[in-house]
Chains A and B, each alone.
Chain A
Amino acid sequence: MNDYFNLILVIYIVAAFFSLIFSKKHQLTNLIANILSATASLSLLILTALHLIVSTSSVELLRITTSVPNISLVLKIDNLSAFFLLCLAILSMSVSIFSIGYMKHYFYRINIGLFNCLYNIFILSMILVITSSNLISFLVCWEIMSLISYALVVYEHDQPENSKAGLIYIIMTHLGTAFLIIAFMLIYVNTGSMEIASAGQLLSPYLKNILFFLFLIGFGVKAGIIPLHVWLPYAHPAALSNISALMSGIMIKTAIYGLIRFILVVLGASTVWWGVVILVLGAISAVLGIAYALIENNYKRLLAYSSIENIGIILIGLGLSFIAFANQQMTIASISLLASLFHLFNHTLFKGALFLGAGAIHYATHTKNLEDLGGLMKRMPYTGLLLLFASLAISALPPFNGFLSEWLTFQSLFQILTASNQGLKILALLIVAALAMAGAMAAACFIKFIGIAFLGLPRSESAQNCREVPIPMLAGIGLLALPCLLFGLFPQIILRLIDRITQEYFAVSISSGLKGISLITNNPLIINESGISLLSATIIGIIFFIVFYTIIRFIGRNTKERIFETWDCGFGGLNSRMQYTATGFSKPLRIVFRFLYRPKRLLWYNKEGPSPYYHSDLNYVVTTEPVFEKYFYHPLAHSLKRWARKSRFYIQTGSVHIYLLYIFLALIALLIYNWVCLTIC
């Protein structure tokens, strides 16, 4: 197994170097590098699935030690990291296949060789982050991952907004890393070991609380929890779509991995309010994330905000699990973690598919604005169908996997509701409401996405003339979108694998609730004494459909069908300007949530019409305020800048005497320190 794993790492490295060496020949390098990387990902997929099925303990994969103490690279795979590697492998395999076609768009416009090199190292760094068993190597790989993703975000650096996005991203991610470094140093000072291992007994409760907040902020920045999310909606639209898919699909999940690994395993999640904090932040992220997604017209930003919502849902499950673990309710803890990890897996699938689909739309139409799209379903039927699948899954509609993981989250919320005290009960009720609202808004959001982009008439020349994307791209999207349906119908496949993790941490298995895939037991998933089977529901639905279809056909066998154009009220032909716009679609929500969006309207007339009430040409601009940026980040940045400028003039006066005085005072201070130390000791 070790050799097999090392071989996978070597393939990624070979792919990276190959594309760097042959960077002049764009087609060749792109094809070979992506095939290599897809192969490696496929092998990784098989390896991790095998590990989850067969092995129970952690296995050491690679050990490179140096003579310097604590500086070593030790890779270990246990159930949790195997599961995250599984998500990474599925996603990176599909993305690599997608890139074979997608990068044609960029041939001879950007340096493909360097891009593919960074792309492979990016995947490699994520593998190393997930498998590192040493604080220093974790930190180093984490930083490599951040820096390479920065380089990939600003890859099209000729556009000024991309460098701005990259700047925000790198500032935020380094802020997070700073908190992580503090936390790791605190752990090392207090335990004397750099291993990532359970250290709950060695740390005082006071220190554990501090460490919890350090980890929450450090990983929260990467995950995009709401007050720390500002980089996400900028970085995702700036990056190429395959990179956005990787970043949204798995990179932000490495932060969830960190939260589970460090708070549950290392700190031992013994305090109830930790879970409450995560739960509340998750609920806020879920509701606000999708609320912001709804009013976006740039479809990649819309998807980025929707990632925040899904991270929120994952965090709700995680928070519930921590609460139940601290209260020693192991069954609930295990179901919540199961829900959380299942949603994480599902989000990897459908968000990956959606970002790749967004890439396909951009490939075909060269625009990122929803207002310029429309009518793509006729022109790109396969992309449309696959994206419809992914959208249905992300909107949590049966029979897709998103529905099941949200159902599980609701189930764990209901269990907490019945099994805890008053305060938690009220909180759980509020979270149920928030989650329901987020679900509804997500559905609205993706109705907007699919409805505006794929239905109706094309709103621009480029949407009019677009064509279906090449096969590799469709295959990449399909490999992610079709499993959404598969795992919706047969969730046991993946739930059995996740069950290994919950079994390891909580010693509770839900496998008795997983009834296999036989049709005779109609409840293949029984949690909390309520079962669900999307498979039987789907089959019943199909049977009903067939029956009703035959009945209707039978009743209406004598009616005549007349095919005619839609009535246009006598205007003389329908055109695309008569359709609902993306802005118009979200207008009711802008009105309802005025306090959140703070919309501003500007209306001015360019040309007088025949009467003052009827202008022939007018402009209408609606803007919304990014609340967190305007009221928190901008004032913070401004005051920091002002303070820095001022203090620079106080400290750096330009007078040589003052500079000498600094040295003099430092010497005097040291002498006094020496004196005080000697007299005290």
Chain B
Amino acid sequence: MQTFLDLLSVLILISAFILTATKRINSYIKAFQLQSFLLFLATFTLGIYNFTTKGFLDIFILSIIIFVLKVIYIPRLLHNTYNRVAYKVEKDFFINIPSSILICAALVILTYYSLYSLDGALNIHIKFNLVNSLSVVLIGLFFMISRKKAIGQIVGFLVLENGMFTTAMLSAQGMPIIVDLGILVDLLTAVMIMGMLVFKINESFDSINIERLRNLRG
């Protein structure tokens, strides 16, 4: 099972790379959906494992919630948001895609060096998963920086959150369920509010290019 989880964590990292390589907003959402699905698989596996060995249902329930929320509901919400704002295909990034991928690779290497030499009671799997999932956090943040459109920021934020969730899941067997649920509710509200803000930005600036927000500065 551990090998399976390791594989999933690598796949989650790769899905983050796929996200950086996409150009269109539709593909962002699909990449996010893919990542969320992988995350669901990891949580599901852990949930089953925990249920069979220790008899806890927590993680299993959590995995169902993640499936409903992150794989189905939030991507639909994003699609709706995206469909409702007028969209012209135009260049959406500050840094071109090959350079972005190189930078993301550099981030992974940095995280590897920074965390792999950590001492303490960390076994090799936990270290490996920690590196992968923290890289996902950094890539998500980098994605937010490199995209101009507001939807890019939302997806980047979600990926960042996925990374954090993965960290908690794969290196510490999850947090207490009440904390996880709290974070998920938080996330949902954040996405809803951000979706509404995208409408507002679109209304006020005739574009969802958040560079225009610069005009608001006093």
Contacts and interface: CB of A to CB of B under 8 A. Distances in A.
Most chain B CB within 10 A, of A652, A672, A674, is at A674
Given A654-B216, A661-B145, A675-B110, 15 more contacts: A653-B217, A654-B213, A656-B153, A657-B144, A657-B210, A657-B211, A660-B141, A660-B145, A664-B141, A668-B110, A671-B110, A671-B114, A671-B115, A672-B110, A679-B117
B214 A672 contact: no
Contacts of A657: 94, 144-145, 148, 210-211
Contact of B117 (A655, A656, A678): A678
A675 B114 CA distance: 4
Nearest to B112: A675
A603 interface: no
Contacts of A661: 145
Interface string A656-676: 110011011001100110110
Nearest to A652: B217
Nearest to A678: B117
A671 B111 contact: yes
B89 interface: no
Nearest to B117: A678
Contacts of A674: 114-115
Nearest to A662: B145
Q: How large is the interface on A (under 10, 10 to 19, 20 to 34, 35 or more residues)?
A: 10 to 19
A679 B117 CA distance: 8
A669 to B, nearest CB: 11
Interface residues of B, number: 24
Interface of A is mostly: helix
Contacts of B144: 657, 660
A668 B145 CA distance: 14
B111 A654 contact: no
B62 to A, nearest CB: 26
B114 A672 contact: yes
A122 B62 CA distance: 61
Query: Which 5 A-B pairs rank lowest in CB-CB distance, beginning with the nearest?
Result: A654-B217, A675-B114, A671-B114, A654-B214, A678-B117
Given A664-B142, A675-B117, A678-B117, A656 B111 contact: no
Contacts of B110: 668, 671-672, 675
A652 B211 CA distance: 14
A667 B114 contact: no
B117 A653 contact: no
25 contacts: A652-B217, A653-B217, A654-B214, A654-B215, A655-B213, A655-B214, A656-B153, A656-B210, A657-B144, A657-B211, A660-B144, A664-B138, A664-B142, A664-B145, A667-B138, A671-B110, A671-B111, A674-B115, A675-B110, A675-B113, A675-B114, A675-B117, A678-B118, A678-B119, A679-B117
Contacts of A654: 213-217
A160 to B, nearest CB: 27
B102 to A, nearest CB: 15
Contacts of A653: 214, 217
Contacts of A656: 153, 210, 213
A601 B107 CA distance: 70
A653 B118 CA distance: 37
Nearest to A675: B114
B168 to A, nearest CB: 17
A672 B153 CA distance: 25
Contacts of B153: 656
A672 B214 CA distance: 31
A655 B141 CA distance: 15
Nearest to A670: B114
Contacts of B215: 654
Interface in B103-157: 107, 110-111, 113-115, 117-119, 138, 141-142, 144-145, 148, 153
Contacts of B114: 671-672, 674-675, 678
A367 B165 CA distance: 73
Interface string B178-218: 00000000000000000000000000000000110111110
Interface in B68-83: none
A663 B111 CA distance: 16
B135 to A, nearest CB: 10
A222 B138 CA distance: 51
Nearest to B144: A660
